[in-house]
Each structure stands twice: as C-alpha cells, then as structure tokens.
Amino acid sequence: MLIIGLDPSLSCTGWGVIRIEGSRISHIANGQVKTAAKAPIAQRLDHLHAAIAAVIGTHAPDRAAAEEIFANKNAQSTIKLAQARGAVLAACGAAGLEVREHAARLVKKAVVGTGAADKTQVQAMLKILLPGAQIAGADAADALAVAIADAHLG
C-alpha cells in the first residue's frame, strides 16, 4: 500500500510517499511545493492544486493523510492555511483518494513516542525509520511523518 502524507501550507506544502508492506515501511519519494509570496492568492492555490495532483498522478497512492487544521493566533494565517489545505485536499478528492486526518500531537507520538516532540526529534526519527532517504526539507519531513503515523494508526 502507498500512502501520501501531506503538510499543507500556502508558502510551502510538504508531501511524502511511503510504501507499507506488513510492518515494513519504505520511502518512495518526497518533496515540497513552494508558491510565490507576491502572486495572487488564486494563482498560488491553483499552483498547489496542480502540483499535488501531479504528484498523485505520478505515484498513484492508495490513500492520503494530512494533519488536522489548527487555529493560529493570527486569524489571517489560519485562513491562508485553510485555503491551502482546501486546494491540496481537493487534489486528493479529484483523484478519488480517501484522506485521513491526524492531530499534530498524535503524529509526533506515533513517530517519536511523545506528542511533545519538536521538529528536530521528528527528523532524527525519520532518519532511523527511512534510512538513506534524502528529505527535501522540513515540510517534506513533516509530510513523511504524517504518512508514517497514518500507517501506524491503520
């Protein structure tokens, strides 16, 4: 089974694809989709949608997993996150993928063992769980963690 993990953001959306065979997890691919900060919001959302749709088309995952949305102190940031998430989830929906959502604390607990883990702890555990994987950046690492958590949570 192939799972695509997604870490939506308007500025940089991370994605990661893993294969699950029994209890074995292997890395397939990962990357980040960046948008131009000065571009109109509609163009940025279209770019995110098209890029994630292309990743889904290339790797043909069986399902998708994404972090649940959280509210920022800044309402505008929350709105932008929700819009980016909508574009990413719409790409999954267009491909007919089931999307499972997981809280950030649950993802950290599934990957590291504690929901209070920081990004460096998550990235260190990814090196152990996915040896040899070249991870494109922090957002791609978060997306791989979401996919791994989804695999563990079944």
Active site residues: 7, 67, 139
What residues contact 22, with CB distance under 8 A and at least 6 apart? none
Could you tell me the strand order of the sheet in which 63-67 lies? Answer: 24-34, 12-21, 2-7, 63-67, 98-102
* Annotated binding residue 46: no
* Annotated binding residue 7: yes
Give yes or no for a contact between 139 and 12, defined as CB atoms under 8 angstroms apart.
Answer: yes
Expressed in angstroms, the distance from the first to the final Cα of the chain is: 11
Angle in degrees, CA 10, 141, 127, rounded to 5: 170
* Annotated binding residue 21: no
Give yes or no for a contact between 3 and 62, defined as CB atoms under 8 angstroms apart.
Answer: yes
Q: From the annotation, which residues make up the binding site for Mg(2+)?
A: 7, 67, 139
Q: From the annotation, which residues make up the binding site?
A: 7, 67, 139
